[in-house]
């Protein structure tokens, strides 16, 4: 029997785990959170993938690189002369590291505030003498702790191409992609998903010649087709080269960089020599070191922990949340599951609505959506109405000098209930929240159309797209 006993033990301190720990502590439980992440100085760094090598650092680099692009390409139209604009990549990366550290420290502060006991090291299941399970923490020292409830939130890792391991020098995962020290002359990305587009944008903006190789013939297949088409047009114009329908062959990495052999969509043999390659072909659930077999914790054939709709695993009082289980690999999905599980442990009715989880791609233009796409509704045979409104006709977008894209509403043909909202354009990441709230409250397009939106604001495009559902736009 371990001498450290808690009501709740959370394994993993990413957005799923740390939020679950805080919520459980708020509910009056004694809580421990075990996390093994170390920063480059070997210090504990709470926040998981999202904080250390995901959401936060990528957005910091996107912001810096966007400022650079604005100074170079857009200041002049405002009458601002900015000659000889330079970017210091070491400083840009240093600022990103500082932003990450603020977030690491913030979580540590929140643990103290909420009296969550933090353990640094790897947590793994061990069979207890009484036939139950305990958690071994292998850190600077080794100790065993136990919890009445265990929440597994061990996240995910980047998927490598078979036979092409990440060396983080030439062949980079998201980790290496976020700490490239100098602008590569030529950069390739394999996979034009979320990371491919966000990281491709960062390094293109600061001067790299970027090619993205994508296996699928369709660009952003999960996104509403009309929105994806509009986004692709914008990326093409920016000079982000995206090749669809390719078959990646042999990849050789050496002192001079990386050489990639591939077949293009026409089946022609091609080769591409680049300084660096980022592989962004999805992520795999992480149960390395968790020792699931020791206690019979069930995994599916993708390596994800099997859970039911309430995030219960096959073991009594063992729960799993976030990237390590089914569902979208998004920080806010992990957080919602963390809150819901803590509340279920407390006997409450925690709930996550998978139909209203927003998606955002933080490129320029931003792409954001919630609910169903037009192609999904067609495939379902559901009768729907569609309405779009272009930012070109929005006064605030014109004043910003950013009129790319549109807002699109999809509503049920009979009831007018909003079924999906899709945005490509400025601040789509913020605008989508209104649609999420509306869908959560089962609003109709008419509800949004009748709400007073501030003028001039980008959100007026949302109201106008809702009006467009019934062909009543006022400004277009």
Q: How many residues bind ligand NAI (CB under 6 A)?
A: 24
- Pick the binder of ligand FAD from 103, 146, 286, 462 (CB under 6 A): 286
Counting Cβ atoms within 10 Å, is residue 9 exposed (0-12), middle (13-18) or buried (19+)?
Answer: buried
* Partners of 189 in beta bridges: 212, 278
Candidate segments 32-40, 121-129, 190-198, 453-461, binder of ligand NAI by CB under 6 A: 190-198
What's the Rg (C-alpha) of the chain?
Answer: 24
CA atoms of 162 and 462, how far apart (whole Å) = 44
Q: How many CA atoms lie within 13 A of 383 on its CB side?
A: 4
Part of the chain binding ligand FAD (CB under 6 A), chosen from 152-160, 373-381, 413-421, 445-453 = 152-160
290 binds ligand FAD (CB under 6 A): yes
Among 1, 76, 85, 216, binds ligand NAI (CB under 6 A): 216
Nearest distance from residue 386's CB to ligand FAD, in Å?
27
Minimum CB distance to ligand FAD smaller for 36 or for 214: 36
Q: Give the separation between CA 215 and CA 462, rounded to whole angstroms.
A: 34
Written as six digits, the tokens of 473 are 């736009």
Q: How far is the CB of 456 from ligand NAI (least distance, A)?
A: 27
Question: What value, to the nearest 5°, has the Cα angle with vertex 312 and ends 306 and 315?
Answer: 80
If the CB atoms of residues 145 and 220 are measured against ligand NAI, the closer one turns out to be 220
The token duo for 257 is 């960089």
State the helix-helix crossing angle for 89-113 and 15-26, rounded to 10 degrees. 20
| DSSP codes joined into one string, 206-237 | TT-EEEEE-SSSSTTTTS-HHHHHHHHHHHHH
- What residue 205 binds from ligand FAD, ligand NAI, none (CB within 5 to 8 A, per partner kind)? none
Q: Which does 196 bind (CB under 5 to 8 A by kind): ligand NAI, ligand FAD, none?
A: ligand NAI
Residue 50 binds ligand NAI, judged by CB under 6 A:
no
Identify what 411 binds: ligand NAI, ligand FAD, none; CB under 5 to 8 Å per kind.
none
C-alpha–C-alpha distance, residues 10 and 314, integer Å: 17
> 222 near 372, Cβ under 8 Å?
no
The question of whether 78 is a catalytic residue gets the answer: no
- Ramachandran angles phi, psi of 289, nearest 5°: 85, -5
| Window 115-144: residues binding ligand FAD (CB under 6 A) | 122-124
> Is 193 a binder of ligand NAI (CB under 6 A)?
yes
State the minimum distance, in angstroms, from the CB of residue 445 to ligand NAI. Answer: 26
Nearest-angstrom CA–CA distance, 234 and 228:
10
Q: Minimum distance between the CB of residue 98 and ligand FAD, rounded to whole angstroms?
A: 18
Give the bridge partners for 213, in sequence order. 190, 243
Least distance CB 318 / ligand FAD (angstroms) = 14
Q: 410 and 377 in contact (C-beta within 8 Å)? A: yes
φ/ψ of residue 238, rounded to 5: -75, -15
Give the strand order in the sheet containing 257-263: 247-254, 257-263, 269-274
CB of 131 to ligand NAI, least distance (A): 38
Name the residue number minimizing CB distance to ligand NAI.
193
Show the tokens assigned to 334: 């992990």
Active-site residue (options: 70, 149, 422, 455): 455
- Is 14 a binding residue for ligand NAI by CB under 6 A? The answer is no
Min CB(247)–ligand NAI separation in Å? 8
Residue 361 binds to ligand NAI (criterion: CB under 6 A): yes
User: 335, 323 in Cβ contact below 8 A?
Assistant: no
Please list every residue from 319 through 358 that binds ligand FAD, using CB under 6 A: 322-324, 329-332, 334
The SS3 assignment for 100 reads helix
Pick one of 13, 191, 350, 365: the residue that binds ligand FAD (CB under 6 A): 13
201 binds ligand NAI per the rule CB under 6 A = no
Answer yes or no whether residue 14 interacts with ligand FAD by CB under 6 A: yes
Phi, psi (degrees; rounded to nearest 5) at 119 = -115, 135
Residue 260, strand partner residues: 251, 272
The answer to whether 34 contacts ligand FAD (rule: CB under 6 A) is: yes
Residues 188-217 that bind ligand FAD (CB under 6 A): 195
Question: Choosing among ligand NAI, ligand FAD, none, which partner's interface includes residue 426 (Cβ < 5 to 8 Å by kind)?
Answer: none
Helix, strand, coil tally for the chain in percent (to 5): 35, 25, 40
Select the binding partner of residue 34 from ligand FAD, ligand NAI, none (C-beta < 5 to 8 A, by kind): ligand FAD
11 lines the binding site for ligand FAD (CB under 6 A): yes
Q: Phi, psi (5° rounding) for residue 201?
A: -65, -45
Q: Is 307 in the site for ligand FAD (CB under 6 A)?
A: no
Which residues are known to be catalytic? 455
Residues lying near ligand NAI in the complex (CB under 6 A) are found at 161, 190-196, 198, 213-216, 248, 280-283, 328-330, 360-362
Residues lying near ligand FAD in the complex (CB under 6 A) are found at 11-17, 34-37, 48-50, 54-55, 58, 122-124, 153-156, 174, 195, 286, 289-290, 322-324, 329-332, 334
């Amino acid at each position: 029997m371990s001498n450290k006993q808690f009501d709740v033990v959370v394994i993993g301190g990413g957005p799923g785990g740390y939020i679950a720990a805080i919520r459980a502590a708020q509910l009056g439980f004694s809580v421990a959170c075990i996390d093994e992440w170390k920063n480059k100085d070997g210090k504990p760094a709470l926040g998981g993938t999202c904080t250390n090598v995901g959401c936060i650092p990528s957005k910091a680099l996107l912001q810096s690189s966007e400022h650079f692009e604005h100074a170079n390409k857009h200041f002049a139209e405002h009458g601002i002369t900015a000659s000889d604009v330079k970017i210091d990549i070491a400083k840009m990366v240093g600022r990103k590291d500082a932003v990450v550290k603020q977030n690491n420290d913030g979580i540590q502060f929140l643990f103290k505030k909420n009296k969550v006991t933090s353990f640094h090291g790897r947590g793994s299941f061990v069979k207890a003498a009484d036939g139950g399970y305990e958690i071994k923490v292998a850190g600077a020292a080794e100790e065993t702790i136990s919890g009445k409830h265990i929440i597994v939130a061990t996240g995910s890792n980047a998927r490598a191409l078979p036979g092409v391991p990440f060396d983080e020098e030439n062949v980079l995962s998201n980790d290496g992609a976020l700490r490239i020290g100098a602008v590569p002359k030529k950069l390739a990305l394999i996979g034009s998903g979320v990371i491919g587009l966000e990281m491709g944008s960062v390094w293109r903006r600061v001067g790299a010649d970027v090619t993205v190789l994508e296996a699928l013939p369709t660009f952003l297949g999960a996104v509403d087709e009309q929105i994806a088409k509009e986004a692709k047009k914008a990326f093409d114009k920016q000079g982000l080269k995206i090749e669809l329908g390719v078959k990646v062959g042999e990849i050789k990495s050496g002192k001079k960089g990386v050489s990639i052999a591939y077949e293009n969509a026409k089946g022609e043999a091609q080769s591409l020599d680049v300084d660096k390659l980022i592989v962004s072909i999805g992520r795999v659930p992480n149960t390395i070191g968790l020792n699931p077999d020791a206690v019979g914790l069930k995994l599916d054939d993708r390596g994800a922990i099997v859970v039911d709709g309430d995030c219960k695993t096959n073991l009594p009082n063992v729960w799993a949340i976030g990237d390590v289980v089914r569902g979208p690999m998004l920080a806010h999905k992990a957080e919602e599951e963390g809150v819901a599980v803590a509340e279920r442990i407390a006997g409450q009715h925690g709930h996550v609505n998978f139909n209203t989880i927003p998606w955002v791609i933080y490129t320029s233009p931003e792409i954001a959506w919630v609910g169903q796409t037009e192609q999904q509704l067609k495939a379902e045979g559901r009768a729907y109405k569609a309405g779009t409104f272009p930012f070109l006709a929005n006064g605030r977008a014109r004043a910003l000098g950013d009129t790319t894209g549109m807002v699109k509403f999809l509503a049920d043909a009979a009831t007018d209930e909003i079924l999906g909202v899709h945005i490509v354009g400025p601040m789509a990441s913020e605008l989508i929240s209104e649609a999420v709230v509306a869908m959560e409250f089962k609003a109709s397009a008419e509800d949004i159309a009748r709400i007073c939106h501030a003028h001039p604001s980008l959100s007026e495009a949302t109201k106008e797209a809702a009006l467009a559902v019934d062909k009543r736009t006022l400004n277009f």
